[in-house]
């Protein structure tokens, strides 16, 4: 983490912020947003504070009407484009499978404007239904494209043909300005500047807005950025000195796993170092989600848990006042079994093996007798008979502590069993598990 430096002017004039003070523009946006909802809570978390020996505060953006800060950016961009008394003539278009879509839908209904929201065909029904609820009769949802890039291209073509206004999720000065209202609320609610703010990063709009606002209002505050390991577009851009497209993205942390950070957000964030970015493994995020759910009763989607998850990577926080932005609470509980599974794998208490057994009576019993008292067979499946004398089985073992599986492997080796641990073999695990 480094101290902040002067913010350079954006290089692209087309993406420039207004000439007025950025903090003044944010204050105006915040006043307007109060028509939608009250400031989200800033809560001291006793559990995390005791765990880290610091003063940990959570900015609960999961408690906006759409469970995400994305509403702030969409609303601010739309309010500047809606003519008073003629909102019904406005037509807004966006491409999103998640929180941005829900924010646009909610704001369209608020203004009485027309909205067309493009989503990939693969979008979960839960997200489609929630977007419909937020937008009501004000919006139309168009499902097109197997991949987001296809959906985005279709939405932009549609906007041009219909002379509608396209709303980007993060690469917009108005969106960044609206999301910066989170920073304004933090300073008001905390009654003083925090030592450190931990921000989740996807396209970079939230991070760009808050860091720019703090540069004017609380320049001594430091920042740390959290990105999913499989979608670290900010870190890649800082390493290269310009936004770059990641060759592949793990979409588990949907909303934060972005292949290319926005151009305008990067201009605001280029002053930071790659070392200021901390990467959160997707499976570890699952542990954080379950901990917050079971211990604190806080429901967070993977992107919402990002900032909390990297706290342990930030070094000694003793005595510091730290604010984490919890970015989203739109969690589909149908994903809970997957979250639990991934958490167990990362914690080392669940493993999958392909085991080669001799085709004789008692062979399976010999294996089962090697299991410890806390080892449970969670999956068992004959795969095939690979030869006349041997057969293969898929077996999943769940236990209470990682060392139990280490000792199990030692017993298997000593007994001469032939096996392969496929827990972290993504190709085999996807095929078999």
Question: Which residues does the annotation mark as catalytic?
Answer: 70, 327
Cα–Cα dist 253/101, whole Å: 16
Q: What order of strands is seen across the sheet that includes strand 350-358?
A: 376-384, 390-398, 350-358, 418-421
| Beta pairing class for 321-326 and 55-60 | parallel
The Cα 273–Cα 269 span in angstroms is: 9
Residue entry with tokens 């972290």: 424
- Distance (Å, whole) CA 263 – CA 18: 17
Query: Cα(231)–Cα(253) distance, rounded to whole angstroms?
Result: 8
Edge to edge, the sheet with strand 321-326 lists: 42-44, 55-60, 321-326, 196-200, 222-228, 277-280
CA atoms within 13 A on the CB side of 379: 19
- Whether residue 235 contacts residue 269, with contact meaning beta carbons closer than 8 Å, is answered with no
Task: Report H helices in 112-262.
Answer: 125-135, 148-162, 173-179, 181-190, 205-217, 233-240
Q: Which of 347, 353, 348, 342 is nearest to 421 (CA)?
A: 353
Q: What is the DSSP string of 247-296?
A: S---TTSTTT--SS--HHHHHHHTTS-GGGEEEE-HHHHHHHHHHIIIII
Q: How far out from the chain centre does Cα 22 lie?
A: 27
């Amino acid at each position: 983490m480094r101290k902040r430096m002067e913010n350079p002017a954006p290089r692209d004039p087309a993406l420039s912020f207004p000439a007025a003070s950025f903090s003044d523009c944010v204050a105006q946006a915040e006043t307007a947003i109060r028509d939608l909802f009250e400031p989200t809570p800033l809560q001291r978390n006793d559990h995390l504070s005791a765990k880290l020996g610091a003063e940990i505060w959570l900015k609960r953006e999961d408690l906006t009407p759409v469970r995400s800060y994305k509403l702030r950016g969409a609303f601010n961009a739309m309010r500047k484009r809606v003519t008073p008394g003629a909102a019904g003539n406005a037509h807004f278009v966006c491409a999103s499978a998640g929180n941005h879509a829900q924010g646009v839908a909610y704001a369209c209904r608020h203004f009485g404007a027309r909205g067309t929201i493009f989503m990939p065909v693969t979008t979960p029904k839960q997200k489609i239904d929630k977007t419909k609820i937020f937008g009501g009769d004000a919006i139309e949802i168009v499902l097109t494209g197997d991949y987001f890039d296809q959906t985005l291209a279709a939405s932009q073509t549609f906007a041009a043909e219909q002379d509608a206004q396209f709303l980007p999720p993060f690469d917009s000065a108005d969106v960044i300005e609206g999301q910066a209202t989170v920073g304004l609320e933090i300073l008001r609610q905390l009654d003083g500047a925090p030592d450190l703010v931990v921000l989740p990063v996807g396209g970079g709009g939230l991070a760009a807005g808050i860091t720019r606002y703090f540069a004017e209002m609380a320049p001594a505050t430091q920042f740390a950025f959290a990105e999913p390991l499989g979608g670290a577009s900010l870190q890649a851009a800082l390493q290269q000195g310009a936004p770059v497209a990641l060759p592949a993205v793990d979409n588990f942390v949907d909303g934060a796993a972005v292949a290319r950070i926005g151009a305008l957000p990067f201009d605001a964030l280029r002053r930071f170092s790659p070392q200021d970015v901390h990467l959160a493994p997707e499976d570890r995020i699952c542990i954080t989600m379950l901990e917050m759910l079971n211990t604190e009763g806080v429901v967070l989607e993977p992107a919402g848990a990002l900032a909390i998850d990297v706290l342990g990577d930030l070094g000694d926080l003793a005595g510091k006042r730290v604010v984490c932005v919890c970015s989203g609470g739109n969690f589909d509980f149908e994903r809970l079994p997957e979250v639990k599974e991934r958490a167990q794998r990362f914690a080392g208490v669940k493993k999958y093996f392909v085991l080669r057994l001799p085709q004789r009576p008692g062979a399976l019993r010999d294996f089962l007798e090697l299991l410890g008292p806390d080892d449970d067979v969670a999956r068992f499946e004959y795969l095939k008979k690979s030869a006349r004398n041997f057969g293969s089985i898929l077996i999943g073992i769940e236990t209470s502590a990682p060392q139990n599986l280490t000792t199990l492997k030692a017993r298997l080796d000593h007994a001469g069993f032939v096996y392969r641990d496929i827990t972290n073999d993504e190709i085999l695990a996807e095929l078999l598990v």
